[in-house]
Amino acid sequence: MTTIALITGANKGIGFATAQLLGARGAVVLAGARDESRGRQAERDLLAGGAEARFMPLDVTDDKSVTRAAEWIDAEYGVLDILVNNAGITRGDGGGRPSETTLGTLRAVYETNVFGVVAVTNAMLPLLRRAAAARIVNVSSEVGSITSMTDPDSPLYPMASVPYPSSKAALNMVTAMYAKELRDTRIKVNAANPGYCATDLNGRRGFRTPRQGAEVSAHLATLPADGPTGTFWGHLWASGGEGILPW
């Protein structure tokens, strides 16, 4: 049976690497991208790597784009097995310091990292409900863990920023609530922590590769029937391993 996987923000970084991994595992990969030329390039690169891939025009902050994507997937496949809500941005005034954060910045980050996830998920849910074992992966971050960010022993403790960390904390709650609502269905919903990966998001300063980050999303996207739902799982900065993160 064919597995249909939609990855948002799949034209580069961790999203592109996730598309590569799921494509290598036999999924038909719908590579979401908001820019046509970047999306077409990603499609070409994925096809050249042997994946069955198609560019999916999708700006997660644009309701019409989200609706069109869901209608297109419905018309082409009638079902969606995997949704990886990967698209994300970071911005910060004054390094993101709470006292210097403007509402404009906060709104922009939430539009993509939180509202975009809810919009895409709700548009895709009718298709996901038709799948035999659907998986939703929300790509979060350890900086969204209130426990890690307030633990003086955590490597993340020195960071005091509002827009990006609070958007990922909100995304964690969004994940937990979808998992609760969908607990009696075949759909599993989990939040992923890729770890600090070298991508454009952070000026390529991360110490992990996009591929390592993508392994986390791919793992949660292919969980077996007895796998967990409603968890926050992935790279653990303090230990360097992988496991459940505190909310």
Ligand X SMILES: NC(=O)c1ccc[n+]([C@@H]2O[C@H](COP(=O)([O-])OP(=O)(O)OC[C@H]3O[C@@H](n4cnc5c(N)ncnc54)[C@H](OP(=O)(O)O)[C@@H]3O)[C@@H](O)[C@H]2O)c1
For 134, the 3-state DSSP assignment is coil
Q: Where are the beta strands (DSSP E) in 78-134?
A: 82-85
DSSP type of residue 148: H
DSSP type of residue 161: -
Number of residues that bind ligand X (CB under 6 A): 31
Q: Where does this chain touch ligand X (CB under 6 A) — which range of 69-77, 82-90, 151-159, 176-184?
A: 82-90
Question: How far apart are CB 132 and ligand X at their closest, in Å?
Answer: 27
Count other Cβ atoms within 10 Å, centred on residue 190.
27
x-marked contacts with ligand X along 162-201 as a string, rule CB under 6 A? --------------------------------x-xx-xxx
What is the rounded CA–CA span in Å between residue 60 and residue 76? 20
What is the rounded CA–CA span in Å between residue 35 and residue 39? 6
Site for ligand X in 112-151 (CB under 6 A): 112, 116, 139, 141
Where on the phi/psi map is residue 133: left (φ > 0), alpha (ψ -120 to 50), or beta?
A: beta
Considering only 3, 20, 86, 175, the residue that binds ligand X (CB under 6 A) is 86
Considering only 4, 7, 11, 245, the residue that binds ligand X (CB under 6 A) is 11
Q: Is 168 a catalytic residue?
A: yes
Which residues of this chain interact with ligand X, rule CB under 6 A?
8-9, 11-15, 34-35, 38, 58-61, 86-89, 112, 116, 139, 141, 194, 196-197, 199-202, 206, 210
